[in-house]
Structure 1
Amino acid sequence: MSKPFRLIASTGIHKGDRDYQQDQVAVLAHPRFNGCVLGVVADGMGGRSGGRKASDQVMMTARQLFERYSPETDDATSMLKNLVNEAHIVIRLTAISAEQEPHSTIAAFLINPRGDCHWVHAGDSRVYHFQHGRLLHRTLDHSYVQALVDRGEITEAEANVHPHSNILVGCLGAESDPPATTHFIPQLQPGDVILACSDGVWHYFSPNELASVIEGLSPREATEFLIDKARSRARGGGDNLSLAIVKIEPLEDEKKPPRIVFPGG
């Protein structure tokens, strides 16, 4: 970035109307490189213990790889792909030893101190890139209904209410290798927002609604509002919900270095 900036970050999580929580979410600040951030959402599947073990493994792998990552010498996209592949392998080993069928989605984004952003996803957890209240890009789900949308057989609106909307064609822990679709943003700017969330959140909002909420509220306020509104719209049938928001803001004092602010600790 040409001008100093700060990253305002917040996460939110709720078990929704399920009996237990299988989602995991985190925004991690790098221990050695100021302004380097990793956001991760993992939606576990496979029964109470299996799904949680899978999402836990995604988070554990993310923390380990991010701690070893150097934005000065390492390739961000390669690190994110390694995160998907390594977590997948360990989840598969867990399935063999525990006789369970744990699976997980992943939606992860990495912001480097110089302002470039990289993301990866597998499954139907999503990453969105908004700029000044407008959607610039989002991930496309690895799901049955997304394939129907891609072929022009149904619309996005029809996909949200399709009876098979929960069928994935790729995720971590499945027999086949997971997809690891990546995206690169060369330069984030003040006014940009990155949102990662599970399907328990995005299922209840249009992109325009998400953009409006994120533009008008702080990340902390937006996470609380989106969870509350999704819970209301689910009418007692909602999934686990998790989301991470990072907003890029200019620094008033341009002599200060980039910094990360986590509202509420």
Structure 2
Amino acid sequence: MNSSTLSYRLVATTALHRGDRQYQQDQVALLTHPRVKGCVLGIVADGMGGKSGGRKASDQVLMTARQVFERYSVKDDDAQATLGQIVTEAHLVIKLTAISSEEEPHSTIAAFLVGPQRQCDVVHAGDSRVYHFRGADLVWRSKDHSYVQTLIDAGQLTEEEANVHPQSNLLTGCLGTFEDPPVSFKHIPELMVGDTIMACSDGLWHYFTSKEMGAIVSTLPPREASEMLINKARQRARGGGDNLSLSLVRVEALKDPLLASTPFSPLTPSSLYGQ
């Protein structure tokens, strides 16, 4: 049977950990649409800007995402435009927050919107990433808006060299800056059974190759996979790790023959791992 005609369910998880930082400035969510079955929004925001500025920024990203997604009409609205609206509105709100505070709040964003026909749209700004795996194989990942990415694009660095570059955390744009953020989109026509879509902050992806990530998300249930990713990243950071966050959805075939006539099984409740 073709994977497009298989009955399926979306299995999801979120994970959040402070790492070795004094403050938690990442925020993560996985939202189910209030009116449409099978429509979900996964989002990660990595805040920056002093003791509380970064948390204010990432909070604003998630608050904006919830408000926009609640208004989103699957039938009438364009998914990419909706993701763009989240970025635009969050960027403006963060800039307004900066006016009334002494900090300079900024945030990245990485988000995916899965529709009821398994279509998926992605947006990101900064160096939080979205990965698309088919089984263990990487199909696509977002490209960072960072200084080292410009060096990679120019052929001056490999990805391995970029990971250990002294300016690897220097961004070329994000939300809350004076300039409009660089925004990149991706449309995936259909997620297949066995596919995983994951948004995560640099505190997580920095410690893994795409091959390692694919092996983990394809062989373990989503919650266990998220726990392994967090734990491995913590071990590899050796006491110097950043905040870590991820939002993950996997498409699985329904094994229960009694559910075979059901085109969609409800989203498994998301889990929060680590504080």
Q: TM-score range by the shorter chain?
A: over 0.9
* 2:68 is the counterpart of 1:68: no
Q: Secondary structure at the match of 2:100?
A: helix
Q: What's the TM-score, normalizing by structure 2?
A: 0.95
The aligned counterpart of 1:231 is: 234
Q: Can you list the C-alpha shifts for 1:201-253, whole angstroms capped at 9, x where unaligned?
A: 00000000000000110110011000000000000000000011100011233
2: CA distance between counterparts of 1:122 and 1:197?
Answer: 12
CA contact (8 A) 2:15 2:271 kept: no
Q: Structure 2 vs 1, CA of residues 14 and 187 (structure 1 numbering), >3 Å: closer, same or farther?
A: same
Q: Secondary structure at the match of 1:100?
A: coil
Of 171, 175, 194, the match for 2:178: 175
CA contact (8 A) 2:146 2:171 kept: yes
The aligned counterpart of 2:50 is: 47
What is the identity percentage for the equivalent residue pairs of Structure 1 and Structure 2?
Answer: 61
The aligned counterpart of 2:267 is: 260
Residue 4 of structure 1: how far off its partner (Å): 2.4
Of 14, 19, 24, the match for 2:17: 14
Q: Secondary structure at the match of 1:136?
A: strand
1: CA distance between counterparts of 2:193 and 2:260?
Answer: 13
* 2:40 is the counterpart of 1:34: no
Residue 149 of structure 1: how far off its partner (Å): 0.3
Query: Which sections of structure 2, spanning at least 5 residues, go unmatched?
Result: none
The aligned counterpart of 2:62 is: 59
Q: Can you list the C-alpha shifts for 1:21-51, whole angstroms capped at 9, x where unaligned?
A: 0000011011110100000000000012100
2: CA distance between counterparts of 1:256 and 1:196?
Answer: 28
2: CA distance between counterparts of 1:127 and 1:62?
Answer: 16
The aligned counterpart of 2:155 is: 152
Q: What's the TM-score, normalizing by structure 1?
A: 0.98
Q: Secondary structure at the match of 1:19?
A: coil
Task: Output the amino acid matched with 1:196.
Answer: A
The aligned counterpart of 2:117 is: 114
Residue 100 of structure 1: how far off its partner (Å): 1.7
CA contact (8 A) 2:137 2:214 kept: yes
Q: Can you list the C-alpha shifts for 1:143-191, whole angstroms capped at 9, x where unaligned?
A: 0000100110000000000000010001000110011100000011101
1: CA distance between counterparts of 2:270 and 2:143?
Answer: 30
The aligned counterpart of 1:161 is: 164
Task: Output the amino acid matched with 1:255.
Answer: S
The aligned counterpart of 2:81 is: 78
Kindly tell me the number of residue pairs found equivalent between the two proteins: 265
2: CA distance between counterparts of 1:96 and 1:226?
Answer: 37
Q: Secondary structure at the match of 1:193?
A: strand
Residue 263 of structure 1: how far off its partner (Å): 5.4
CA contact (8 A) 2:26 2:243 kept: yes
Of 219, 222, 232, the match for 2:222: 219
* 2:151 is the counterpart of 1:141: no
1: CA distance between counterparts of 2:51 and 2:253?
Answer: 43
Q: RMSD over aligned Cα, in angstroms?
A: 1.0
* 2:96 is the counterpart of 1:93: yes
Q: Secondary structure at the match of 1:26?
A: strand
2: CA distance between counterparts of 1:124 and 1:189?
Answer: 26
2: CA distance between counterparts of 1:166 and 1:264?
Answer: 28
Q: Secondary structure at the match of 2:170?
A: coil
Residue 264 of structure 1: how far off its partner (Å): 4.9
